[in-house]
Amino acid sequence: MLRLQAIVPKDRTEQVCTVLAGNPGATHIAVFSGAARDPAGDVVTADIARESANEILAALRSLRLDRDGSLTLEHIDISLSKAAEDAERRAPGAPDDAVVWADLDQRTADAADLTWSFIAFLTLATLLAGIAALLDSPILIVGAMVLGPEFGAVAAIAFGLVFWKPGRVAGALRTLAVGFAVAIAITYVCALLGRWTGVIELAELPDARPLTGFVYEPDRWSFIVAVLAGAAGVLALTADKSSSLVGVFISVTTVPAAGNIAVAVALRHWSEVAGSAVQLLVNLVGMVIAGVATMVVQRAAWGFAQRRTKMRPKDGTG
């Protein structure tokens, strides 16, 4: 269940209550007259099934509450209520399959922003990947993959393409471009310093690396894995399964490829630079394609599930 809180101009309170009362997935409707000061109005709260969130939010936004008032949603961890159970049963579809598009919209909007924390995490991950290249260490490669924050921006690009938000796509592309450019540049400088001080020797980046050579040797499996990881990542975001994202991070070779580019340039192993760049691009493109396809399928499948469930109630009495 989700907790909805709306600040409503007084002249629209009854309309809001009518929308909520008329939706089978809403319950525990409460009105606090005159409770809101900024913006002024009434406060209306309700518990709604995740499956009904998109329909209810669309109806409330048609009343311009997102402009003249406010709409907020939060997750309810524990709900002990027969009314809530009934609302969830009546709502069309299944909770795990429901995608709250407004939630994904806000999360991808945040992920598309270029922030210092994004650059810091990406730089640290790229530095780890650079060390992994020197040591031929798969453990450090995995650590760099998990630490990398780039999937949020990839998901933002996919969302922007599906819902046609050019600003979202442009912002996420800028975030990825600047983030990887800064991370690679810093890793390159650190590798040069290591080389000049004798910490790193030219021969320490071998031509053949049996454990991490895949980083600079893209093949058809690189694209296939990126597509699978992109689909899994979008599903994890839309289903709010954050633990599944760790597996996504470990599957893609974006950060390791960036780290390998920096070290290979610093140590003049030119043969690995092009392969690493292709690996980075293949992974990013594969995840975006999969993200777009997954969201399109989810929208279509959820619409079908809603229509089918409305015709046949969950309790099987219809």
Whole-number Å distance between alpha carbons of 20 and 285: 42
- Kindly state whether residues 39 and 110 are assigned to the same domain: no
Residues 111 and 80 in one domain: no
**The pLDDT of residue 316:** 43
Same domain, 126 and 191: yes
Last residue of a domain, one of 71, 97, 123: 97
Whether 309 is covered by a domain: the verdict is no
Give the per-residue pLDDT at 300: 83
My answer on whether 30 and 73 are in the same domain is: yes
Specify the amino acid at residue 182.
V
Q: CB neighbours of 76 closer than 8 A, spacing ≥ 6?
A: 1, 2, 3, 47
Measured CA to CA in angstroms, residue 317 lies from 25, 52, 84, 139, 310 at distances of: 17, 20, 19, 55, 12
- Say how many C-beta atoms besides its own lie within 10 A of residue 312's C-beta: 11
Are residues 37 and 90 located together in one domain of the fold? yes
Claim to verify: residue 86 and residue 182 sit in the same structural domain: no
Q: Which of 227, 139, 150, 138 is nearest to 184 (CA)?
A: 150
Residues 154 and 43 in one domain: no
**Domain of 198?**
104-303
For residue 310, being part of any structural domain is answered with: no
pLDDT in tens, 109-121: 998 999 999 999 9
Q: Is the pTM of this model over 0.85?
A: no
**Residue 313 located in a structural domain:** no
| Residue that terminates a domain, selected from 97, 130, 147 | 97
- The answer, yes or no, to whether the previous bond of 313 is cis (omega within 30 of 0) is no
| Segment 146-201, tens digit of pLDDT | 898 999 999 999 999 999 999 999 999 999 999 999 999 999 999 999 888 877 77
Does the residue 308 lie in any domain? no
Is residue 47 a contact partner of residue 79, using CB atoms and an 8 Å limit? Answer: yes
Higher pLDDT, 109 or 302: 109
Neighbours of 191 (CB within 10 A): 25
Q: State yes or no: pLDDT of 138 exceeds 70.
A: yes
Q: Please name the helix (run of DSSP H) or strand (run of DSSP E) that holds residue 5, with its range, or none.
A: strand 2-8
Does 314 reside within a domain? no
Last residue of a domain, one of 78, 97, 116: 97
* Shared-domain flag, residues 31 and 118: no
Q: How many CB atoms lie within 10 A of CB 72?
A: 10
Judge if 168 and 137 occupy the same domain: yes
- Packing angle between helix 270-311 and helix 254-266, nearest 10 degrees? 170
